[in-house]
Structure 1
Amino acid sequence: MSDVTTTDLYEVTMALSYLREDMRAPATFSLYVRDLPPERGFLVAAGLESALNFLANYRIERDDVKEFADALHRPMRVLEPLLGLCFEGEVRAVPEGRLVFAGEPLVEVTAPLAQAQLVETYLLNQVCHQTAVASKAARCVLAAAGRPVVDFSLRRTHGAWAGLQAARLGALVGFAGTSNVAAATALNIPASGTMAHSYIETFPSEEEAFRSFARCHPGPVTFLVDTYDTEAGVRIAARVLRDLRRGAGCAIRLDSGDLDALSRRSRAILDASGLADVRIVASGGLDEYGVAHLVGAGAPIDVYAVGTRVGVAADAPYLDCAYKLVEYDGRPVMKLSSAKATAPGRKQVYRHPGYSDVIALASEEPPHAAEPMLRTVMRAGRRTWSPDRWQDARKRFRGDVADLPPSARRVERPLPVRAIQSRALEELTAKVRTDIQEHILTRAAPVGPRAS
């Protein structure tokens, strides 16, 4: 299956009609999030890299045309106007790692109409999913308040590719590592892992399991201590670590139960055994809410491992994203549907210090001391800058988070930043709305009786 055919059927039917009607003028589509999900004070822009890779390699081959024809139950010759079509447009976008808010364009695509239409589904898929997961992961980093967070999500993500993305997105917002070996090696992310309960269960005792594991791994080790009785497991782990003269860099992992109470008792046992430098890792159904609770309670946990709920962004697994036509052949256009109206024209987002964001027309003069958020990342179908690394995006994220109002950073009941529209954009919106309504009324007016 080609990425080209990873699209909704109506993109193909519309594009084919455009080509047959010779509608080849440039069209601009704006991709944005209508409203932030509940309990979100911000979003982290993500998914742009995979979107640009898709666009840079976009070309409809004969096999793709055949798939389109089969899906439509029509002869291939009907779909041949699509053959050889490439993406030759311009893309302006917010770089990955930047914080964004409702209504602000994350990506604007300007290309011949059929091209811009055909790429809609894939761009929405990549940008919306990855932005949702990155935003969830970022909240875990904030909740941990400087303590390392590790990605354990691969076994529960919606597919292996989503697991790779989750590991990258975690690293992008500051995670310390991932259990995903493929992601660790491909993306140069630190690998992190311990053992499963099944490993403990295959040995006659926990002590034999711990000693065997330590013999195999001469460096720092992490022992999973809650297979049977957690406190007993901690004591056994402490004895093995002390006997083997292991300490610095080693850890125990708590994966179930009352993590607050267990971490306190575990810390006391380790300290009493002279193992104050052995860390405590906590896992088991954690996300930003659980992490924030434990940090707020003062639990002596050194590292948080998050998995299922973060890898699938469980409490907000999708974003209300839209990819809407805002200009065609130099003419600003908009949608008037109730609760889903759009703003016309190519846009730019200007950010003033303190997050006083203004959504403006791209043609407007930049306001004083404001930073433009959308950058030109592709022109004539080619990238205008080198592929972005997650390390670069992490720097942008850290810079943006440092300036984010505390009320928007909160895990519970955050107050999101609200962008405003510039006067020029408001005036254009009102004009286009009036023009459309007058046109509709003129066309809908009843036809009077003919003069005799």
Structure 2
Amino acid sequence: MPALLTDLYQLTMMQAYLEEGMADTAVFELFVRKLPPERNFLVAAGLEQALDFLETLSFSEQDLEWLAGQGFPKRFVDSLREFRFTGDVDAMPEGTVFFPDEPVLRVTAPLPQAQYVESRLLNIVHFQTLIASKAARVVLAARGRQLVDFGMRRAHGAEAALFAARAAWLAGFDATATAEAGRLWGIPVRGTMAHSFVQAHPSEAGAFEAFARARPQRPVLLVDTWDTEAAVAKAIALAPKLAADGIAIGGVRLDSGDLAAHARAVRAMLDDAGLRETIVFASGNLDEYRIARLLADAAPIDGFGVGTALDVSADAPALDAVYKLQAYAGVARRKRSEGKATWPGAKQVWRSFDANGTAVGDTVRLIHETAGQAAEARPAAGPGAGEPDAGAAGGSAADWPLLQPAMRGGRRVGSAPTLQAARERCASQLASLPAATRSLEKAEVPYPVEISEALRALAREIDASPH
């Protein structure tokens, strides 16, 4: 990824830092200030791409030539030839559920480096976290039905389409329609047909047969180009002919109209024809709320394709995600802007669980606090990377640290976790949440996140000092 994919002020600040000799160790933390309306939790995603960016960050000769043309001093431009990220990263593993004011990622590095990576880290982590959080809500609403990401065509660019497919699968979707996401990450790919395929043929029945013979492994037929129930009748009439050649119609897809009513009529038609294994799949401007309503209405739908609402996170298209300086040269720092104050110092997030494995609250502590150091002796990420052991503390409540070492000295710690592992972590984390937190509606009582007294005391101390 080009090193110049950043905000100009990262370059101007880095130049000024270097000219002042300000290269001591800085601590920056990436967190979300508040939840969007109707949201009760977020899901961390994008860490692997963030680490890729940090490991490979360097300026090309073309980058340096452009910077020189923008008036940057030669000595600064020349210094960038050897620029590399050499710092440390601690982060919540992908798939971890988190809440406002909790650092998702902490960078500890020389100030110019730690500052420079801000824009791209936010760009990567914010977007995948946004989509994974939306997708997790769809997964909860679908109650085990098949889910396919259909959103590429509405995503805001190629990278967004790919990252959305990745984040959705991490959060529990079953497949994506984006072929390149399947090639890159091994995500299962699914596809049906477009209305144009039906329109291009002389007859609807002919289009169905042609598609089924071209794609004989349980094809899914799009049946709402003209008249949904009439199209299903044609598919039913075609089924014996296809079956004689070993082709079973895998499903029919509804994409418009009253999906619940059509699903009931279509399911009855298929069952009466003995096609009980043929699924009913629905798409068309779906989100978690429409899916929840359809299932509450007992619509016999086996799977859903979710597109626009997912890939642009339509109800909450951005998070209040920030990356802020928390310490420099061994001194804790605190921002006090109105409505944007930060908690100072390098921090860890501790999650408490009851004896049943249900999360009961988080505490944000300074990394050197005694309570945190005692718990640090437990396995680094716990069973399932952040989940409590069923036998932890003899079946009583257990606390687990959520931020784990991800990079040391500019290089990953250990091998990169698989996307499958992140997917499993997300499922486990969602299952551990209280029922009210998993709800699509805003919880009357938010999930508790406490700020430790030592952290509050540090903030008061900084506030009392002259600035």
Which bracket does the TM-score occupy, shorter chain normalised?
over 0.9
Please, which runs of 5 or more residues in structure 2 have no aligned partner? 354-358, 376-397
- The structural deviation recorded for 1:218 is 2.3
Correspondent of 1:197 among 172, 195, 203? 195
Q: Which moved more, 1:208-217 or 1:106-115?
A: 208-217
AA in 2 matched with 1:231: E
1:391-406 to 2 correspondence within 5 Å? 391-406=420-435
Q: How many residues in Structure 1 have an aligned counterpart in Structure 2?
A: 435
The residue number in structure 2 matching 1:19 is: 18
User: 1:214, 1:243 → 2: CA distance?
Assistant: 11
User: 1:9, 1:22 → 2: CA distance?
Assistant: 20
1:429 aligns with 2:459: yes
AA in 2 matched with 1:63: Q
1:418 aligns with 2:418: no
User: 2:42, 2:267 → 1: CA distance?
Assistant: 36
Larger Rg: 1
Cα separation, partners in 2 of 1:188 and 1:139, compared to 1, 3 Å: same
- The structural deviation recorded for 1:82 is 3.0
**Preserved CA contact (<8 Å) 2:333 2:345:** yes
1:52-451 to 2 correspondence within 5 Å? 52-70=51-69, 72-74=70-72, 76-245=74-243, 250-353=250-353, 354-365=359-370, 366=372, 369-414=398-443, 416-435=446-465, 439-440=466-467
- The structural deviation recorded for 1:161 is 1.4
User: 1:96, 1:37 → 2: CA distance?
Assistant: 20
Cα separation, partners in 2 of 1:417 and 1:67, compared to 1, 3 Å: farther
- The structural deviation recorded for 1:413 is 2.6
User: 1:3, 1:347 → 2: CA distance?
Assistant: 31
* Identity across the alignment (%): 46
The residue number in structure 2 matching 1:449 is: none
AA in 2 matched with 1:404: L
**Preserved CA contact (<8 Å) 2:23 2:112:** yes
User: 1:88, 1:186 → 2: CA distance?
Assistant: 27
- The structural deviation recorded for 1:78 is 4.8
- The structural deviation recorded for 1:410 is 1.0
TM-score after normalising by structure 1: 0.93
Q: Which moved more, 1:55-64 or 1:229-238?
A: 55-64
**Preserved CA contact (<8 Å) 1:25 1:113:** yes
SS across alignment from 2:462: helix
Cα separation, partners in 2 of 1:3 and 1:206, compared to 1, 3 Å: same
**Preserved CA contact (<8 Å) 1:61 1:84:** no
TM-score after normalising by structure 2: 0.90
Please, which runs of 5 or more residues in structure 1 have no aligned partner? 441-452
AA in 1 matched with 2:58: R
**Preserved CA contact (<8 Å) 1:16 1:82:** no
User: 2:172, 2:230 → 1: CA distance?
Assistant: 34
User: 2:367, 2:63 → 1: CA distance?
Assistant: 35
- The structural deviation recorded for 1:65 is 2.4
User: 1:257, 1:337 → 2: CA distance?
Assistant: 50
Cα separation, partners in 2 of 1:346 and 1:78, compared to 1, 3 Å: closer
User: 1:396, 1:328 → 2: CA distance?
Assistant: 33
- Runs of 4+ in structure 1 over 6 Å off: none
